[in-house]
Amino acid sequence: MAHDSTAPTERSINDVARITGTTSRTLRHYDNIGLLSPSRIGTNGYRYYNADALARLQRILLLRELGLGLAAIAEALAGHRDDLKALSDHVRLLESEKQRIDRLIASVTSTIHKIEKGEPLMAEEMFDGFDHTAHKDEVEQRWGSDSYAASDSWWKAMSAADRATFVAAQKQLAADWATAAERGDDPESDDAQALAQRQFDGLVGIPGTPSEGKAGPPREYYLGLADLYVADPRFARNYGGQAGAEFVRAAMVVFAATHWS
């Protein structure tokens, strides 16, 4: 194939954001933490990326898609981390997640069949694969073992119907966030702020959290969760990916600025 001499040798930050499906905010963040520097900065202050920078970004996004955190990605790119081992470890995590998803599919399929046939539903079967303990270590590290124990007891005390309602509400909220992000909503728009309000309301009164027994979560807790959604790719997947998670955080930051003003 002949070389296309008309192809641009570098791309502006807006072009890169559009082509990769990420955001200029993310690219600036990568620059600020030393993960991806632009090849040059123009007199207009715009960042520009040449072929080498784009190749590095491709690798970053691949590792991000595979679930590696930014710190692990930085180590991998710096050669301080065995790429093969890191990817092999993540394959094992993906296989474990695939098994859990397969159980969820089987669980929901079984529920559909039983409803169609008028057969009784067993709670143990309905919730196979819904692992509420998945973030146990993180909860205990961030907020203490008492917090996890309280929330675990709260979950176990719920009826099957209440659990189903709670899970459905969380999934619907995540889906609505993802839709708004894909639609390109402004984080300050009424629709985005309504979602941020729902995010706030969903945290009210959950045992083991700073919002237990209160009218709502404290500002620091709310914003801490917003940052976590972006920092941890497991949460980002709930909102349609990294760009979706960043949209959620941006809307929550706007909400916090007005709610706690």
pLDDT score of 198: 93
What is the C-alpha to C-alpha distance for residues 160 and 152, in angstroms, rounded to an integer? 15
pLDDT score of 2: 44
Q: Nearest 5°: phi and psi at 41?
A: -120, 125
Place of tokens 């709610």: 259
Cα of 192 vs its chain's centroid, Å:
17
- 8 A C-beta contact, residue 211 and residue 205: yes
Residues 6+ apart with CB under 8 A from 139: 147, 148, 151, 208
Report helix, strand or coil for 190. helix
Place of tokens 């729902």: 198
What kind and span of H or E run contains 41? strand 40-41
pLDDT score of 127: 44
pLDDT score of 24: 87
What is the C-alpha to C-alpha distance for residues 23 and 15, in angstroms, rounded to an integer? 10
pLDDT score of 252: 94
Q: Nearest 5°: phi and psi at 47?
A: -85, 140
Give the pairing type, strands 47-50 and 10-12: antiparallel
pLDDT score of 128: 46
Task: Give me the residues paired with residue 50 across strands.
Answer: 10
What is the C-alpha to C-alpha distance for residues 83 and 52, in angstroms, rounded to an integer? 19
- 8 A C-beta contact, residue 183 and residue 238: no
pLDDT score of 247: 93
Task: Give me the residues paired with residue 10 across strands.
Answer: 50
pLDDT score of 129: 46
Q: Please list the pLDDT of the chain residue by residue as tens digits (261 residues).
A: 444 444 568 899 999 988 888 888 889 999 999 999 999 999 888 899 998 899 889 888 877 766 667 877 888 788 755 556 656 666 666 676 676 676 667 666 766 766 677 765 444 444 444 444 455 555 545 545 555 565 566 666 777 777 777 778 888 898 899 899 888 899 999 999 999 999 998 887 666 555 545 577 788 878 888 888 888 777 788 888 888 899 999 999 999 999 886
pLDDT score of 69: 72
pLDDT score of 39: 95
What is the chain's percent helix, strand, coil content, to nearest 5? 65, 5, 30
Q: Nearest 5°: phi and psi at 216?
A: 175, 170
What is the C-alpha to C-alpha distance for residues 253 and 18, in angstroms, rounded to an integer? 24
Q: What is the pTM of this model?
A: 0.47
What is the C-alpha to C-alpha distance for residues 233 and 70, in angstroms, rounded to an integer? 10
